[in-house]
Amino acid sequence: MPKVLYEKDGRIGRITLNRPDVLNAIDDDLPRELAAAVEEANADAGVHVIVLSGAGRAFCAGYDLIYYAEAAGGAGNSVTQDMPWDPMKDYAFMMRNTDLFMSLWRSHRPVICKVHGFAVAGGSDIALCSDMIVMADDAEIGYMPVRVWGCPTTAMWVYRLGPERAKRMLFTGDKIKGSEAERMGLVLKSVPATELDGEVERLAERMAGVPVNQLMMQKLVVNQAIEAMGLKQTQMFATIFDGITRHSPEGLNFKHRAEEMGWKHAVRERDLGTFDWTQNRPINAPKT
C-alpha cells in the first residue's frame, strides 16, 4: 500500500500521508513517496495548488521510533552507527530526507498544509516546509527531540518565528496547540477542528483561481528572500548537528534506554525531564 497518496481534484492536487496505523510516522519510504507526489503535482499544468494532509488521527507524529530507535541494529543503524561513527555517512542519510521534505518548499505550486492531531518532531519538519499551515485549535506542533536525540534538520523554526520564539521552542522541546501557534506566527491560522476542512478548502479554492505562472512567480520571490538569508547553510549545520545529537554520550544513552525499556518509556522520560542522560540514570536515583 502506498505510504503517500496523490490525487488530482480539479485545480487542487491532494497529497495525503498514509500510514494512519502509526500516526503517519516517517520511515525510509515516506520521504521518497512525498517528493514523488509533489513532482507529479508540479508536472500537471492543470494543478494550481497542493493541499497536504495526513490520514487518520494525526498529520504526522515524526520519525518512527520503533523502526529507528527501539530496534537494536537493523534499521536503527541508519541513524545510530557503531562507534566510532562516520559523520558524513550520517549526514548523507539525513540530508537526503531534508532535501525530500524540501520538495514542498521548492514546489512551483503553493502548498497548504492541513494539520490535525499532531505535527511533531520530524512531522513538524514536513509541515514547516509548506508555504502555509492551517491547524486545528486542539492540534499540537513541536520538536520534542531537541531535549535529547535530535535537531530539526530543515531549520524552519527561526525563519517562521524569529530568533527569540524559535529559541523558546528549541530550548524546551515544548508542544503547543494550534491556537498558540497562530498567536506566535508559526502558522497562518488556527480554527476549531470541526472547521478545519472547510477553512483549508476555501483558501485552496481562492488560490486555485490565480494563474499558475502568477503563483509560481510570487512563491519564487518570497522564497528567494528566505534563501538569501542563508537557509541552505543553516540546514547543512542543522543536519550535521542532528547526527551529533544521536552519537553524543547523551544520545547514545537515550538509544540504549529505548532498546532496554521501549521507546515510549524513553520518550516519556525525555519529555518529562525525569532522566539524566549525561549520568545515564533517573534523576534523584541513588548513585551507585
Q: Domain map of the chain by residue range?
A: 4-282
> What is the rounded distance in angstroms from the CA atom of residue 154 to the CA atom of residue 125?
6
Of 17, 207, 27, 31, the closest CA to residue 115 belongs to 17
| pLDDT for position 287 | 58
Q: Residue 247: count other Cβ atoms within 10 Å of its Cβ.
A: 21
Three-class DSSP category at 81:
coil
Domain 4-282 fold: 2-enoyl-CoA Hydratase; Chain A, domain 1 (3.90.226)
**Residue corresponding to grid cell 518532531:** 121
Q: Residue 2: count other Cβ atoms within 10 Å of its Cβ.
A: 13
231 is written with which cell numbers?
A: 537557509
Pairing relation of β-strands 132-136 and 118-120?
A: unpaired
Model pTM score = 0.94
Of 139, 179, 185, the closest CA to residue 159 belongs to 185
| pLDDT for position 78 | 60
Q: What is the pLDDT along the chain (288 residues), one digit of tens a residue?
A: 999 999 999 999 999 999 999 999 999 999 999 999 999 999 999 999 999 999 999 999 999 987 776 655 444 456 778 888 899 999 999 999 999 999 999 999 999 999 999 999 999 999 999 999 999 999 999 999 999 999 999 999 999 999 999 999 999 999 999 999 999 999 999 999 999 999 999 999 999 999 999 999 999 999 999 999 999 999 999 999 999 999 999 999 999 999 899 988 999 999 999 999 999 999 976 555
| pLDDT for position 74 | 46
206: left (phi over 0), alpha (psi -120 to 50) or beta: alpha
**Is there a contact between 41 and 51 (Cβ–Cβ < 8 Å)?**
no
Three-class DSSP category at 277:
coil
CA atoms within 13 A on the CB side of 193: 10
Helix axes 212-227, 231-247, angle to 10 degrees: 60
| pLDDT for position 71 | 56
CA atoms within 13 A on the CB side of 239: 21
| pLDDT for position 70 | 60
Q: Residue 78: count other Cβ atoms within 10 Å of its Cβ.
A: 15
**Is there a contact between 156 and 132 (Cβ–Cβ < 8 Å)?**
no
Counting DSSP H helices and E strands in the chain, the numbers are: 13, 11
Q: Which helix (H) or strand (E) holds 268?
A: helix 263-272
